[in-house]
Amino acid sequence: MAKTETGTDDLLAEVADGVGTLTFNRPEARNAMSGDMMSGLADVLADWADDDEIGAVVITGAGGAFCAGGDVKGFNERGGEGGAGGAVDPRRVDAQRENQKATVGRIYSYPKPVIGAIPGAAAGAGLGFALATDVRVGTPKSVMATAFGGVGLSGDYGVTWLLNQLVGPAKARQLMFFNDRVRGDELLELGLLNWIVPEDELQTKAFELAKTLADGPRGCFSRMKANLAEVPVATLEEAMDAEVQRHLECGVTADHREAVAAFVEKRKPVFRR
């Protein structure tokens, strides 16, 4: 297992067996966001995107929570999230837009599969990080909430868009307006979690899922993600046109040739790294 420097103790990063694991690490604050955490997340995601040693990524949180979103105590200390001046600073708007693209936006469109391991609360902007992952595994203690309305905010880090895509517009409006806390089987029913496992099995399950993907045909998975990312913005015909190019790109790879040979020979394929 090799640790990756993140520039902060608020975010931990390590690589083992082709899997990169990122851990939000402010357990005393339920892993609420900090500036250093967000900068570190953006930097590591950018570095790992082109790292051939990493085939899949796990994102999780330390101390029993995933990420509580913005640091509400910090908001209070400075007179509100935007400060006490009563006017929006356009420089902050630009900076946050760039960070959102480099974190939630990058996770959603990442060229490698991303697994969310949700040990407890994913709330506010933290919900955005969870929902941007490709699939999510949780525990009986996992809970998701938009949380924004409870502190008089409208929402950021892609939560509204991601919720709308996953649960549909009616349920997304309910969760945004009424700040419902979603748990257990309802998380599974809504597609907000894909698996629920006992607490002590969460990290093992997430790693196993990620390693299965890391050991698979990586170029194929990258192109699958590109196809899926186009769904919300493309017509069926546009999506099919794009699919053909990527499908045939897969069809000339060594991984494809190995997969079909293994199928015919009734053995497990061994993909290139």
- Domain of 248 in residue numbering reads as 218-265
Note the pLDDT tens digit of each residue in 192-213.
Answer: 999 999 999 999 999 999 999 9
User: Residue 273: inside a domain, yes or no?
Assistant: no
φ/ψ region of 80 (left if φ > 0, alpha if ψ in -120 to 50, else beta) reads: left
Same-domain status, 260 and 167: no
Rounded to 5 degrees, what angle do the CA atoms 49, 167, 66 make?
50
Residues in the chain: 273
Per-residue confidence (pLDDT) for residue 71, from 0 to 100: 76
Same-domain status, 42 and 172: yes
- How many domains does the structure of the chain reveal? 2
Rounded to 5 degrees, what angle do the CA atoms 82, 84, 88 make?
40
Same-domain status, 249 and 125: no
User: Residue 272: inside a domain, yes or no?
Assistant: no
Per-residue confidence (pLDDT) for residue 87, from 0 to 100: 83
User: Residue 97: inside a domain, yes or no?
Assistant: yes
Collapsing DSSP to helix, strand or coil, 20 comes out as strand
DSSP summary character for residue 188: H
Note the pLDDT tens digit of each residue in 40-56.
Answer: 999 999 999 999 999 99
CATH label of the domain that carries residue 132: 3.90.226.10
Note the pLDDT tens digit of each residue in 218-259.
Answer: 999 999 999 999 999 999 999 999 999 999 999 999 999 999
Q: What is the mean pLDDT of the chain?
A: 94
Same-domain status, 21 and 45: yes
* Single residue among 214, 236, 256 that ends a domain in this structure: 214
Same-domain status, 132 and 65: yes
User: Residue 251: inside a domain, yes or no?
Assistant: yes
Instruction: Decide if pLDDT at 15 tops 80.
Output: yes
User: Residue 210: inside a domain, yes or no?
Assistant: yes
In the structure, what pLDDT confidence band is assigned to residue 78 with cuts at 50, 70 and 90? low
